[in-house]
Each structure stands twice: as structure tokens, then as C-alpha cells.
Structure 1
């Protein structure tokens, strides 16, 4: 049986507005990827789906691709486009 990892997801802009918090703590199966985190977030907050294709992803302060595999303790950042002004 696969183990479980615990990660922190930092939320900004639309993601933070949808959840009403600045970060989430998620338990995921070992081998989970950034894309799987996004699928879970969109599953819980479908109104965020339009943002997904525009979002950049970071793990531990490095920009990554959605297929990046996560480790327990990782900090995932979802960075939607932000309008300046």
C-alpha cells in the first residue's frame, strides 16, 4: 500500500478568494503531482477551472511543470495571473 504525503498549498488571488484562506494542508498519496493537486482544488472549487490554464506552479520556491512529483513537506504555490495597477 502506498504511503501518504502531507503538503502545504499557498493560495493567491482568485484561489485565496475562493477558499477564504491563504493556505491549505493536504494529505495526498505518495507519487502525487502538482497536476493532481490542481485537480483536487478544481474538484472542490469548480469556479476556479478557468484559471487553471493561466496558472504557474511553484514547489519550494522554484517554478515547476504540472507533472512534478511531490514529496512530503513540500510547499506548492499556485500563482494565477494578477492584474497590476
Structure 2
């Protein structure tokens, strides 16, 4: 950190002082007018190689990405499972 310039919020001039400040303060108390950035959380699930290849083929046939196909199919399956048995 530049010794001549302090942090815009904590006014700390060292990383240690900045860390100490944020140890005792909540960043939500210093809300700026910066817009929220949408984000998503991805998870990795190991798949068998043959299953992966079959999914890739199906995605290509349907003209969608592998991720789109897997998410769609999982959503459909969960919807089916959530329905009460008749």
C-alpha cells in the first residue's frame, strides 16, 4: 500500500491497520453507491467418463451447452420427485 495514501474508508495507511479496522467494523455499515454484482455459485460433481461423453453428445444434439442440459435435466428430475405420488 502506498504510504502516502490511506484507505478510502478506514483511512489506514498500512495493511495491518486496515486489517485491524475491518476486524472491528462491518463493511455493510459503509455501503457505497456501487451497484450489486450478480453472481452464481458453481459446484463440481465428479462424473464417470462414459456418462460425461453421453451428456456431451446429447447437449450437442440439442444445441445447448453441457451445463445447460445438466441443469435442465436435474431441475426436471427434482420437479418430478417433488410431486406427490398418485
Q: TM-score, normalised by structure 2?
A: 0.25
TM-score by length of 1: 0.25
Give the structure with the larger strand fraction.
Answer: 1
Larger Rg: 2
Relative contact order, higher structure (CA 8 A, sep 6+): 1
